[in-house]
Amino acid sequence: GQQLNQSPQSMFIQEGEDVSMNCTSSSIFNTWLWYKQEPGEGPVLLIALYKAGELTSNGRLTAQFGITRKDSFLNISASIPSDVGIYFCAVMNYGGSQGNLIFGKGTKLSVKP
């Protein structure tokens, strides 16, 4: 089946550092999304990307939709302890009459104060 490759699998960083993670696919997708999941909670949407080459920011978060439509990256600037969690990329798979989401395996972020 279709698969998203997310890297790195985990990151341990110092508070204040910048973070970068990415997601690649062997197939073209027209909608890319980034979610954050905290322990005991469901994923929460951070950023949605709808156009190849698009660069979108949400506070300290910046995400880009690759020009080939096969990849995306997420940057977090000046990390803080509450950034801890698992970050998932996802794509909208338009099969049949409506789309559904395919998720990557996630990048686990740990921030040391």
Partner 1 sequence: EAGVAQSPRYKIIEKRQSVAFWCNPISGHATLYWYQQILGQGPKLLIQFQNNGVVDDSQLPKDRFSAERLKGVDSTLKIQPAKLEDSAVYLCASSKRGMGLDEQYFGPGTRLTVT
Nearest CB to partner 1, comparing residues 48 and 84:
48
Can you give the binding site for partner 1, defined by CB under 8 A? 4, 31, 40-45, 48, 50, 88, 90, 92, 94-106
Nearest CB to partner 1, comparing residues 31 and 62:
31
**What's the min distance (Å) between Cβ of 45 and partner 1?**
6
- Non-local CB neighbours of 67 within 8 Å, separated by 6+ positions: 52, 53
CA distance 18 to 32: 22
Taking every pair of Cα atoms in the chain, the longest distance, rounded to a whole number of angstroms, is 47
CB 47 within 8 A of CB 35: no
Nearest CB to partner 1, comparing residues 3 and 18:
3
**What's the min distance (Å) between Cβ of 15 and partner 1?**
26
